[in-house]
């Protein structure tokens, strides 16, 4: 395991320790609102602090882009951190949330970790080295057609302007597939695509910390990730479609037409 990836794994385990501690006492948790349907808790803040401490102790010259504390520009590497993806799930005791940590060199995602602390599932990837789940190699699914495909998505619950375009994509895809799931943690959905549990995924208006680690996992597991136009602008635009190589283009075309 590359030293940076090893450090990322250590950092998410520190964050997970805090998250699980608070998960056992949700009734005592302090919660505040950052905006419409956008909440933050002590768990998010303290887990992020613990993750950053591990990373910056090992790499003090690296920059940080974190959901709760923002950006610190430094050096050629930047750690992209979501300390608790699926905060609303977490706050309701709904068992679908994760930690996502990636490191970028310029615009290239070098290493990524998505960790589900409840199931103790550690998804890891390094650029050019493949993707793993708890140390075992993972690959995207081999589903060749949309009809038997199971897709994941996320509702545009913060950006109301995205609701109608998203509804059009849902209306087009639902009858063409075997099912669509919305679990509420985009980084974990992307990890599930990498592991072949979902055949594809799409969402609008995501942030870099939602996408970076999961996108690398999919690519290293043999899948494809794109923006709706078919380019590689998904980190900046927040609009992403991901799937195995057989499905990506058919899925992307439907989503692109429907979301205009």
SS3 content of the chain, % helix, strand, coil (to 5): 40, 25, 35
Give the pLDDT of residue 230. 95
Give 169-216 pLDDT, tens digit per residue: 999 999 999 999 999 999 999 999 999 999 999 999 999 999 999 999
Q: For the chain, give the number of residues.
A: 260
Q: Are 214 and 194 in contact (CB under 8 A)?
A: yes
Q: Which residues contact 6 (CB under 8 A, 6 or more apart)?
A: none
pTM for the model stands at 0.93
Q: What is the pLDDT of residues 38-95, one digit of tens each?
A: 456 788 899 999 999 999 999 999 999 998 887 888 789 999 999 999 999 999 999 9
What is the model's pLDDT at position 26? 83
What is d(CA 193, CA 172) in angstroms, rounded to the nearest whole number? Answer: 20
Alpha-helix residue ranges (DSSP H) falling in 110-185: 163-173
Give the number of other CB atoms < 10 A from CB of residue 156. Answer: 18
Cα gap 186→203, rounded to integer Å: 8
């Amino acid at each position: 395991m590359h030293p940076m990836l090893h450090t990322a794994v250590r950092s998410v385990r520190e964050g997970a320790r805090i998250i699980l501690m608070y998960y056992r006492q949700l009734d005592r948790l302090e919660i505040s609102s950052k905006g419409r349907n956008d909440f933050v808790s002590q768990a998010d803040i303290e887990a992020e602090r613990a993750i950053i401490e591990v990373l910056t102790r090992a790499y003090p010259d690296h920059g940080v882009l974190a959901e709760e504390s923002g950006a610190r520009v430094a050096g050629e590497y930047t750690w992209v951190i979501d300390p608790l993806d699926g905060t609303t799930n977490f706050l309701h005791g709904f068992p679908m949330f994760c930690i996502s940590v990636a490191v970028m060199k310029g615009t290239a995602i070098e290493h990524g970790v998505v960790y589900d602390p409840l199931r103790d599932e550690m998804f890891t990837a390094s650029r050019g080295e493949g993707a793993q789940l708890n140390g075992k190699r993972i690959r995207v699914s081999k589903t060749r057609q949309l009809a038997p495909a199971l897709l994941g998505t996320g509702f545009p619950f913060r950006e109301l302007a995205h609701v109608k375009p998203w509804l059009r994509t849902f209306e087009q895809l639902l009858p063409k597939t075997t099912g669509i799931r919305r679990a509420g943690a985009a980084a974990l959905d992307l990890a599930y695509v990498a592991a072949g549990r979902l055949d594809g995924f799409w969402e609008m208006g995501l942030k870099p910390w939602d996408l970076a680690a999961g996108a690398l996992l999919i690519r290293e597991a043999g899948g494809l990730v794109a923006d709706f136009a078919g380019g590689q602008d998904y980190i900046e635009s927040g609009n992403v479609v991901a799937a195995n190589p057989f499905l990506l283009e058919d899925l992307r075309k439907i989503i692109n037409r429907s979301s205009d």
